[in-house]
Amino acid sequence: MPDAASHAAGNARFTLDADFTVGEVDPRLFGSFVEHLGRCVYSGVFEPGHPAADGAGLRTDVLELVRELGVTTVRYPGGNFVSGYRWEDSVGPVEERPRRLDPAWHSTETNRFGLSEFIAFVRRLGPEAEPMLAVNLGTRGVADALRLQEYANHPGGTELSGLRRAHGDEEPFGIRLWCLGNEMDGSWQIGAKTAREYGRLAAETARAMRRLDPAVQLVACGSSHQAMPTFGAWEATVLEEVYELVDYVSLHAYYEEVDGDRDSFLASAVDMESFIENVVATCDHVGARLKSGKRIDLSFDEWNVWYMSRFHEATAEPSAEWPEAPRLLEDHYSVTDAVVVGSLLIALLRHADRVRVACLAQLVNVIAPIMTEPGGPAWRQTTFHPFAQVSRYGRGQVLDVRVRAPAHRTAAYGEVPLLQATAVRDPDTGAVTVFAVNRDQHGSLPLDVTLHGLGVTRVVEHTVLADADPEARNTRDAPDRVTPRPVAGTTLAEGRLRTVLEPLSWNVVRLV
């Protein structure tokens, strides 16, 4: 582990200039993910009989928190679950829907919450929210995807659109964004395929779906993570088949602290940025080789802190039981985890020119920013706060930030700057928001920012999420133990922003 002596002395600094930008933030960058996994759905977003449930069984306390979180896009129904998904099971009268075994998560799926209920949930979030639906390319294929698309989106006059209307949904669901399967390179995926097998199936599915609707937007499966043995070659092979047929290629990444190496964990965004840049390079290489004028963008539709090693330890022995909505993957996040989530959000913003969709996985209870108890309260995890702040203040033009900062050595990533930062300018108001993480576990970090041509003159607010106890968490009994708090002493004068970032902290500085 690196020691304090490895830290270089000096302030962190960078320059913001109105003429140097990365790109416009796509609102879909603030997406999330609802999968039929653990308690994400049942006793998460959906709990008929709960004191806060509405007439459709949706928990209104959860709805309020999701709106506060600022989620814009919701991916559904998986995840690994989708590769065994029979969408027909999830529509029609609830009492007639079948119970099924879900081999992805070794659970029993009741189908009490299905496609119509999901669309109702997304619509309740507000006008900005939209659904992102995955089709099953594991155990099913082209015909099933077309049937689902027709049921969901065709206005009427056909068997399947008529069936939707008979089920009580007169208006089409209007789903624009579709995932062509999920993690199809993974040995854990039901119906996993080689790159060539998947690429051909995805191409056939994309062609057929575009015949029903040429404006449909499609995501092809990239590698499940950068450490996959086929990473890079998978993307290149798949894109050879689908390049002119899809809009995005997916990326998935999860991070955890391993063997007490907190410095490497705090530098997880180094890996995320590398992942993004490597996939962009592959996409552009394939496009050049195909002599295409089209650009493929990225959908980082699963990302988060996930203590995956704990999950594998807990499920090492297969169970003979097939429970309904078991407590799975219910990580309880600390201040440290929240700082890492903030740094991952910065990484996404820093690549907003190519990352156009992103989904924090998942939304409720399962590695989630929101926790609930059956029949009880809902509360914000520590990781809720960075996401909510970036969704609220990270809209507009991302400014090009080139950090100069003290660095320290990490076991996983070598020399890493102690500062990670970006800034976003609102084109309507001219307001600028700086997002910054101090990765130093023990020392404060002075920050000096020079501003050119931005027209801002004062600090509206500087908030920090930090704590003397890096393991501090929010719980049912102490739901507000960790929240952002104001910082005094941050100044903006003569085009210079000056502040001091607390050790191991997530910071938001708003300027007008």
Catalytic positions are 183, 302
Rounded Cα distance between 60 and 41, Å, is 14
Specify the 3-state DSSP secondary structure of 452.
strand
Is residue 385 within a helix (H) or strand (E), and if so which, with residue range?
A: helix 384-393
Q: Does the pLDDT value for residue 280 go beyond 90? A: yes
Same domain, 421 and 369: no
**Quick one: which of 105, 273, 250 has its CA closest to 177?**
250
Same domain, 348 and 474: no
Q: Does the pLDDT value for residue 6 go beyond 60? A: no
Report the percentage of the chain scoring pLDDT > 90. Answer: 96
Q: Does the pLDDT value for residue 131 go beyond 60? A: yes
Same domain, 357 and 501: no
Question: Do the domain assignments include residue 158?
Answer: no
Question: Do the domain assignments include residue 165?
Answer: no
* Domain count of the fold of the chain: 2
Same domain, 409 and 383: no
pLDDT attached to residue 312: 72
Question: Do the domain assignments include residue 170?
Answer: no
Same domain, 246 and 360: yes
Q: CA-CA distances (angstroms) from residue 148 to 186, 299, 346, 375, 443?
A: 24, 22, 36, 34, 54
Sign of CA dihedral 386, 73, 196, 287: negative
How do 217-220 and 177-180 pair as beta strands?
parallel
Last residue of a domain, which of 330, 365, 393?
393
Would you list the DSSP string of 459-510? Answer: EEEEEEE--SSTT-B--SS-TTSS--EE-S--EEETTEEEEEEPSSEEEEEE
Residue 441 near residue 468 (C-beta atoms within 8 A)? no
Same domain, 16 and 56: no
pLDDT attached to residue 286: 98
Q: Does the pLDDT value for residue 2 go beyond 70? A: no
The stretch 496-504 carries a mean pLDDT of: 98
Question: Do the domain assignments include residue 147?
Answer: no
Give the helix ranges, DSSP H, for 37-178.
60-69, 115-125, 142-153, 159-166
Same domain, 216 and 300: yes
Last residue of a domain, which of 360, 393, 426?
393
Same domain, 488 and 463: yes
Q: What is the CATH number of the domain that holds 296?
A: 3.20.20.80
- What single DSSP character describes residue 139? S
Question: Do the domain assignments include residue 155?
Answer: no
The stretch 86-111 carries a mean pLDDT of: 97
What is the pLDDT confidence band of residue 316, given thresholds at 50, 70 and 90?
A: low
Same domain, 233 and 270: yes
Last residue of a domain, which of 393, 408, 442?
393
What is the pLDDT confidence band of residue 314, given thresholds at 50, 70 and 90?
A: low
pLDDT attached to residue 59: 98
Rounded Cα distance between 376 and 9, Å, is 49
pLDDT attached to residue 1: 34
Same domain, 382 and 489: no
pLDDT attached to residue 318: 73
What is the pLDDT confidence band of residue 313, given thresholds at 50, 70 and 90?
A: low
What is the pLDDT confidence band of residue 311, given thresholds at 50, 70 and 90?
A: confident
Same domain, 34 and 65: yes
Question: Do the domain assignments include residue 152?
Answer: no
Question: Do the domain assignments include residue 38?
Answer: yes
Question: Do the domain assignments include residue 381?
Answer: yes
Sign of CA dihedral 318, 319, 325, 330: negative
How do 31-33 and 73-76 pair as beta strands?
parallel
Report the percentage of the chain scoring pLDDT > 70. Answer: 97
Rounded Cα distance between 336 and 317, Å, is 30
Domain boundaries, position 193: 26-136+175-393
Rounded Cα distance between 202 and 79, Å, is 17
Q: How many CB atoms lie within 10 A of CB 129?
A: 21
- pTM, to two decimals: 0.96
What is the pLDDT confidence band of residue 9, given thresholds at 50, 70 and 90?
A: low
Q: How many CB atoms lie within 10 A of CB 207?
A: 13
Whose structure tokens read 């490497």?
A: 264
How do 378-380 and 370-372 pair as beta strands?
antiparallel
Considering the chain, what is the average pLDDT of its residues?
Answer: 96
Q: Does the pLDDT value for residue 266 go beyond 70? A: yes
pLDDT attached to residue 310: 84
218-246: pLDDT as tens digits: 999 999 999 999 999 999 999 999 999 99
Q: What is the CATH number of the domain that holds 460?
A: 2.60.40.1180
Same domain, 383 and 472: no
